[in-house]
Structure 1
Amino acid sequence: MKQTIIYLLLTAVSLASYGQRKTYWQQDVDYTMDIDVNEKTYQYDGKMKLKYGNNSGQELSKVYFHLYFNAFQPGSMMDERLKNISDPDARMVTKKVIDGISKSESRIAELKPEQIGFQKIKSVKYNGQAVSFKEDGTILEVSLPSSIKDGATVEFDLEWQAQVPEQIRRSGRNSKEGVAFSMTQWYPKMAHFDEFGWHLDEYVGREFIAPFGDFDVTIHINKDYVIGSSGKLQNPSEVKGYVSKPKLKLNKNKASWHYKAKNIHDFAWAADPKFVVDSAKSKGGVQVYTVYLPTDGTIVSNWKQALGLATEFFDFTGQHFGAYPWETYTIVQGGDGGMEYGTVTLITGGRNLKSLVGVIYHEAAHSWYQHLFGINETVDEWMDEGFTSYIEELALTELFVRPQAKALNPIGAAYLAYYRLANSKVEEPMSLLADYYNTNFAYSNEAYNKGAVLAEQLGYIIGKENLQKTFLKFYDLWKFKHPTPNDFKRVAEDVSGINLKWYFNLFINTTRKIDYAVGNVTGTGIEVVNKSNLAMPIDLLVEYQDGTKELFYIPLREMRADKPAEGFDIYNGVKRTVLTDWFWTQPTYVVPVSKAVKSVEIDPTKRLADVDQEDNKKTL
């Protein structure tokens, strides 16, 4: 945590002019864990020493931990959610035909006692004193004999026994691809406490938030196993897979794997005796590891190609979104899809090359959104997944597809998915808590696609160069902290000089849609019509009968400033005319012209998320 404190001191002077909250604070956590794994029973014994620093400005009489494995038990909230949501996650259910009707049944409900997950707390000590605690679903409540004073650092010692559940969601044993251990959400994790209070979300299915901290983790496991993990391996010469001839220091036929990581907020690992390890270094100095099952020649070839493309990704993303600040990043085969953790991801590996690279890029992009910026994924899921999807698509276009002519809108696929959502009649506000969506369809498209659209469309509003500057300035101000969407908005406003309250409020908190049309065209004017209830600035490209072109820019009154000219090739040599601002209370606007018009088009870059573009262009 010393790095965070130094960073805060060094940047304090510059923050005020860019909207940093002056009263910002965050808690400190430092974990030291010792884990003894029984690979035959899929159980382990854990010991943890946790240093907890209270910087909140108030005393704390209780603390809370997450016990995520407890979700994988019949009757849990996760189990009940699977039984009652209309479109459950296909990975978490089995399909059965009952009385001729196909039904989905929760896989968790079918787990036997030896298959469930659990974390059973044996003891909790507070500054060396045994204290009372209560397990309630996936939350552990610890009552303290004396409050934690503001500014104090205290110690907790926990001992627990855990059983790794069958692989159902993120965590688990014996994945479909044959990975023995996917160890995510596997330890009692200190709950997050911030200006909004304690974040005590039951583990129902969505994602996480936690305080930043340092991790020192030792894992004792059968000597034949290879581990891929968060952090940096401290003893590669004493374990299998990382050097050609390791000198194993065995303890009852076990090897001890020792990892350290600084300034991360979650720690994950996976283990299998068949894992192989490969590595390469990016130009920027990031050591990237791949840990996977060499199932066949095609799989091995895909993973080797993906490793090179992954190192390029860290250089590309570092240039556009800020430098990756840790020494290592590890890509491990495991889990049931793809999921990000501190300096590591677990992904399924039996994919074609494009799919493998795509999921690696997505999960690696989470190193920024959500691991460098500790975004609350339970509350602001669209900022986490949406901005990550945005980075993923930019990187795929640049590094994997490598087109000769760059697309005007590089995330066109996300726009199309958003249009399907907007016209589906099941869209809900993007600000909804992640677990509370009525459908997985709505959640996925809100978080991943509409969130990405928000980012690209922001570039349409403030200008693509200002968008780039916003991401980099946001990095400077908010790395290793827990920003909110409003913090990002404030940076964008400071960079661009444009007021954005209307955009963030309406696009995030409502299901209003954008829908413009080209209306009547006469010899003196072009009518532009707002058919919707969400007003936007308009770029209108006009081609005249004499072959010349003119780009009319109509700012929105609420912006209180104009977008600068943008350097798209289609606008080269085109006269740009800035018109009087448009009121959101006014449904039509007439653009004055003095020459005969040949064609008119609203936003030829396709960054305006207009849900019906059939009437956005008119040729006379």
Structure 2
Amino acid sequence: MWSCHAGAQTAKPAAQPQPATAASTAGDADIPFAPAHDTMITQKSSPDAWGGERTGQEATLSDRVVSYTIDASLDAAKHAVTGKEHLTWRNRSDREVRSVYFHTYLNAFQNEGSIFFTERNIETAHGSSRGNARLEKGQWGWIHLQKVQQGDAALKWSFVHPDGGPDTDQTVVRIDLAQPVPAGGTLALDIDFLSQLPRVVERTGWWGDFNLVAQWFPKIAVLELPGERGATQVRWNAHAFHFNSEFYADFGLYDVHLTVPSDYTVGAVGKLQGEPEQKNGTTTYHFVQGDVHDFAWVAAKDYKTLDGTYEGAGSPKVAVRVIYPQEYVASAAPSLKSSIDAIGYFSKTLGPYPYETLTVVVPPYNAQEAGGMEYPTFFTSEGFQYVEQDTWTQMASDFVNIHEFGHGYFYGILASNEFEEPILDEGLNEYWDNRMLAERKQDFVLATPFTKWLGIAPHIPGFVMERLGATLKHPRDPLAQNSWDRISGTSYGTVYTRTATAMHDLEARLGKPALEKAFRLYYQRWRFRHPSVADFRAALIDSSGDAKDVDQIFNEYVYGTGTLDDTVTSIDTEEVLPQAGVTWKDDKQSEVVAADLDKQTDKQREDWKKAHPNAKPGDPGPFPWHSTVTVERNGIAAPELLRVTYADGTHEDVTWDDDQRWARFDFVKPSKVVSAELDPDGHNYLDDNRLNNSLTTKADSAASRRWTADVAAVLQTFYSMLGTL
């Protein structure tokens, strides 16, 4: 097995990698790294963070910090990309910068000594995970810096480890400058590099004649200023490429020329400029896109394209293209439609889509790990050999496309830090995707064509599906935790499911219009900037005015690991009969004897029966009923509605909205309470065990019959699916 040792070099002569020194792992003497572990942010950013809120009147959508001009050529046989990068970067800080830091993400796939692989080994030891392909000889990937120059000066570099981890990780590199960049000044670098794509492991790579070229060029890290995302001083945010982490970068301009074999289909971030140029069996494509923070592309032999457009208020005319292999032609039209529908929904609910293009790539069979990945104006989907209405294939296709497009807002335009705060991208996007599905009245379907033919087509609403996977009973990590300090991949998965569930419950508390307004405010404030979790919380409070409910969700679920499990523990009923004993009135004592009362109550009952010959069981009788319902909290407090139903069929609602561990509610009515239910409308999806939310005074087998039928339907579907494989 061969692995590249791309290392710290000068242009002349070449040098081998230098181990990171204590100074290099701490950043410049006066510019430290962002914390590797204490990453949760509770203080909102300053109003002028990242240049302040964008009004829409500026010359560019974002405050562009960086620009990349790249000329790249693909060696299709070797799956290697030769690149020349000219970078300009603006120093936004108030001090000079003597060293800069770059992400060299492809080195995550260089050898098993990377943080990516060491963390993956821990994941797989505790269960299954995605991205677990085993690389054979010639399938490793890496990025090799060949030359770095500042003007005429050749620069030195060394690999550093901002997050600790193995010394063998080479996903962050420090470049020492010949001339410091003054405060407010601009840096220009020229970098020659060679990127070897791995056989697809996760997010990037090749399979056959398919090449997804992502995280393929040296990308400068983000210099954060005080008041931005919890920073109290100027700092470099330059995390290593962790197994579960994704990305974070400055907005800027990308101007990229791509040269590939002429029989390859190409798609990329941004808009194609003019006609591609052909020469000697190769074709050069020129793509440009401003106001984005990454660039990815695909080159695949003999792939097909399907085109469409989106036109909507506030957006430019959007050219939408699906690039797909012939084996997955069935996915092309559904992917085009769901992507265009997603542009419309996100434009309507958050803000108009601001770009002129959207490219959707369907990877081939055996390259599934390249699917379901997002980049600005560009995402990868999943392929299906058939997509049939009202089966799991249609739902799976639609959901992947909607989800990956949605990242274009929560990861792309809002540009949250996916390393430190995956909740802001994966979590909020998952929630908004499910709102779109609910508006379309589109449930998760567990049916195949065969089970559908049999008349078996179980449906599960999206938010119910999210709740089932949200690990509500024993969450191990707060939602605001970073992507790598988690007990397992399952815990990372709850960033999707538990966030969607928590936001569902917050919407139930605030109301749908108020929640939508709050999300629009969040988007309006932070588009083309970099918000934190604290900024999201501030937008929710500022818009809704409901600090109590917002803070409870954040304190217990976003920043904490709270659980909710309210239960109805008992219903006690008794008739309110005349009582024996001594009473005083006007200083006169009177005594009622029990034997006399028995005769009195018997007579009242007989008289009532005669007066109501057609009375049915449960109708009010001669005496009222005193019912007591006891409820308990086995977790955190949440506002609850308690609905009691009386024997005569009427019901009454009361509110339980305090932080007491238990409560008793008394009802004196003509009819007795026969059942009680907490949250009868199903607002609190965060409730771990909803089966104990209700109680009846008489056993009712309807629930068990329903669950038995549901389980039977799911099992039938599962066995039928096995039969079709």
Q: TM-score range by the shorter chain?
A: 0.7 to 0.9
The one-letter code of the counterpart of 2:383 is: G
Matched, 1:116 2:140: yes
Moved more, 545-554 or 475-484: 545-554
Distance 1:268 1:514 in 2: 42
Deviations 1:44-96 (A, max 9, x none): 211111121222344322211111111112222222223333246555436xx
**2:178 aligned with 1:145:** yes
Percent of paired sites with the same residue: 27
Cα offset, 1:400, TM superposition: 7.0
Q: Is the 8 A contact 2:334 2:397 kept in 1?
A: no
Partner of 1:613: 690
Alpha-carbon separation, structure 2, partners of 1:593 and 1:408: 37
Structure 2 SS opposite 1:365: helix
Shift of 1:129: 3.5
User: Cα deviation per residue 1:175-226 (whole Å; 9 max; x = unaligned)?
Assistant: xxx5520111111111122244322222132211111111111101111111
Partner residue in 2 for 1:5: none
1:551 Cα shift?
4.0
**Corresponding residue of 1:432:** 481
- Displacement, 1:140? 1.5
- Give the equivalent residue in structure 1 for 2:566: 516
Equivalent pair of 1:309/1:399 in contact (CA under 8 Å): no
Alignment of 1:453-472 (within 5 A): 453-472=501-520
- Contact 1:519–1:526 (8 Å) recurs in 2: no
SS at match of 1:56: coil
Q: Retained in 2: the 8 A contact 1:127–1:154?
A: no
Q: How does 1:397-412 map to 2 (within 5 A)?
A: 397-399=438-440, 401=442, 410-412=462-464
Aligned to 1:396: 437
Report SS of the residue matched to 1:436: coil
Match of 2:330 among 301, 305, 308: 301
Deviation for aligned residue 1:504: 0.5
Q: Residue 367 of structure 1 aligns to which amino acid in structure 2?
A: G
Structure 1 residue 482: deviation in Å? 0.8
| 1:513 Cα deviation from its structure 2 partner | 0.6
For 1:246, the equivalent position in structure 2 comes to none
**CA pair 142-400 structure 1, distance change in 2 beyond 3 A:** farther
1:602 aligns with 2:690: no
Bigger shift: residues 371-380 or 130-139:
130-139
Q: Aligned pair 1:24/2:49, yes or no? A: yes
Question: What letter corresponds to residue 139 of structure 2 in structure 1?
Answer: Q
Which among 530, 554, 558 is matched to residue 504 of structure 1?
Answer: 554
Aligned to 1:276: 304
How far did residue 267 of structure 1 move? 1.1
Quote the offset at 1:604 in angstroms: 2.6
Q: Does 1:164 align with 2:201?
A: no
What's the CA shift string for 1:512-536, capped at 9, x where partnerless?
Answer: 2101122444666765634234111
8 A Cα contact 1:312 1:399, kept in partner: no
Mapped to 2, the partners of 1:233 and 1:393 lie a distance apart of 33
When residues 301 and 348 of structure 1 are mapped into structure 2, their CA distance, relative to the original with a 3 A threshold, is: closer
Shift of 1:434: 0.8
- 3-state SS in 1 of match to 2:541: helix
Please list the CA deviations of residues 138-159 of structure 1 after superposition, one character each: whole Å capped at 9, or x if unmatched. 1121112343233222222211
Q: 2:620 — aligned with what?
A: none
For residues 263-306 of structure 1, what are the alpha-carbon distances to aligned partners after superposition, in whole Å with 9 as ceiling and x for unaligned? 111111111121111111124243221011121xxx32332133
- TM-score, normalising length: structure 2: 0.69
> What displacement does 1:258 show?
0.7
**Structure 1 72/411 Cα, relative in aligned 2: closer, same or farther at 3 Å?**
same
1:442 aligns with 2:488: no
2:472 to 408, 419, 422: 422
Match of 1:209, SS state, is: coil
Where 1:49 maps in the other structure, the secondary structure is strand
Q: Which deviates more from structure 2 when the two are superposed, residues 321-330 or residues 537-546? A: 537-546
Letter in 2 for 1:381: P
CA contact (8 A) 1:380 1:484 kept: yes
Contact between 2:103 and 2:220, CA under 8 Å: does it hold in 1? yes
Q: Distance in 1 between matches of 2:141 and 2:93?
A: 34
Contact 1:362 1:392 in 2 (8 A): yes
> 2:603 aligns to what?
none
Distance 1:165 1:125, change over 3 A: same
- Alignment partners' CA distance in 2, 1:126 and 1:605: 64
Equivalent residue, structure 1, for 2:359: 330
Deviation at 1:260, TM superposition (A): 1.0
**In the alignment, what sits opposite 1:207?**
246
- Residue 409 of structure 1: how far off its partner (Å): 7.2
Query: Is the contact made by 1:73 and 1:79 (CA closer than 8 Å) also made in structure 2?
Result: no
Distance 1:340 1:217 in 2: 19
In the alignment, residue 213 of structure 1 is paired with which amino acid?
Answer: G
Q: CA deviation at 1:590?
A: 4.2
Deviation of 1:20 after TM superposition, in Å, equals 6.7
SS in 1 for 2:287: strand
Match of 1:125 in 2: 149
Most deviating of 510-519 and 65-74: 510-519
Q: Indicate which of 372, 378, 386 corresponds to 2:419.
A: 378
1:52 aligns with 2:89: yes
Aligned to 1:83: 121
Residues 516 and 528 of structure 1 are in contact (CA less than 8 Å); yes or no, is this contact kept in structure 2? no
State the match for 2:590 in structure 1: none
Alignment pair present for 1:38 and 2:75: yes
Q: Deviations over 1:405-433 (max 9, x none)?
A: xx997511111111xx234x573333332
Change (3 A) 1:524 1:81: same
Shift of 1:357: 1.7
Q: Alpha carbons of 1:400 and 1:309: their partners in 2 closer, same or farther (altered >3 Å)? A: farther
Q: RMSD of the TM alignment (CA)?
A: 2.6
TM-score when normalising by structure 1 = 0.80
Matched, 1:476 2:501: no
Q: What SS is found at the alignment partner of 1:45?
A: strand
The letter of the residue matching 1:219 is: L
Q: 2:542 aligns with which of 473, 494, 517?
A: 494
SS of 1:84's partner is: helix
Of residues 409, 422, 443, the one that matches 1:368 is 409
1:561 counterpart residue number: none
Distance 1:283 1:607, change over 3 A: farther
User: Paired residue for 1:286, among 306, 318, 321?
Assistant: 318
The corresponding residue for 1:576 is none
SS in 2 for 1:477: helix
Alignment of 1:64-75 (within 5 A): 64-74=101-111, 75=113
Residue in 2 that maps onto 1:16? none
Of residues 216, 219, 224, the one that matches 1:186 is: 216
Contact kept, 8 Å, 2:50 with 2:530, in 1: the verdict is no
What secondary structure, in the 3-state scheme, does the structure 1 residue paired with 2:361 have? Answer: strand
Task: Supply the distance in 2 between the matched residues of 1:169 and 1:348 (Cα, whole angstroms).
Answer: 14
Alignment-mate amino acid for residue 188 of structure 2: E
Higher mean C-alpha deviation, range 149-158 or range 446-455 = 149-158
- Partner amino acid, structure 2, of 1:540: L
1:225-236 matches, cutoff 5 A: 225-235=264-274
Evaluate the alpha carbon distance shift between residue 549 and residue 315 of structure 1 in structure 2; reply closer, same or farther with a 3 A threshold.
farther
Gaps of 5+ in 2: 1-43, 52-63, 161-169, 386-392, 445-458, 574-624, 698-725
Structure 2 distance, partners of 1:294, 1:288, is 19
Bigger radius of gyration among the two: 2
Q: What SS does the corresponding residue of 1:159 show, helix, strand or coil?
A: strand
Q: CA deviation at 1:312?
A: 1.4
SS of residue in 2 equivalent to 1:124? strand
Q: Distance in 2 between matches of 1:598 and 1:409?
A: 30
